[in-house]
Amino acid sequence: MATLQVRDIDDRLYKYLKTSARLKNRSISQEVITIIQEYLNNTQNPARNATKEFLALSGAWKDERSAEEIVEDIRTHRTSSTTRFGEANGIFD
C-alpha cells in the first residue's frame, strides 16, 4: 500500500480531524482516508435531480390512441379474482 504524507496542515483543521476521528472511533489516518474516499465517490457519481428526471419523462410514452381508448383497453384486459386466485368465494373475492 502507498503511503501519503501531508505537511503544513492548519492547526484548526488538524484539531477538527482529530475530533472527528475520535468521535467515530478511528485513527486520524483512517478518518482522512474515509473523507477522501467519500469525496471521490460522490464526485464520480453526480447527484441526480429527481425532479429533472421526472420532467424528462414527460411525453416519453407515445400512443396514438385517445385516453378513452387506452382506458377501455385496460378495462377489457383486466381479469377477475376468480381466474387470478383459482377459486370463487376465496379470501380475495
Number of domains, the chain = 1
39 occurs within a structural domain: yes
For residues 28 and 18, the answer to whether their CB atoms sit within 8 Å is yes
Q: Is residue 85 part of a domain?
A: no
pTM: 0.47
The pLDDT assigned to 55 comes to 80
Q: Which structural domain range is residue 33 located in?
A: 8-56
In a domain, 76, yes or no: no
Residue 15 domain flag: yes
Q: Is the dihedral of CA 44, 52, 63, 69 positive or negative?
A: positive
What percent of the chain clears pLDDT 90, i.e. is strictly above it? 38
Could you tell me how far CA 23 lies from the centroid of its own chain?
27
| pLDDT value, residue 23 | 95
Q: Does 21 reside within a domain?
A: yes
Alpha helices, DSSP H only, in 1-93?
A: 11-23, 28-44, 50-56, 67-76, 81-85
Residue 32 lies in a domain: yes
Give 38-77 pLDDT, tens digit per residue: 888 877 766 678 888 888 877 767 788 888 999 999 888 8
N-term to C-term CA, the chain = 64
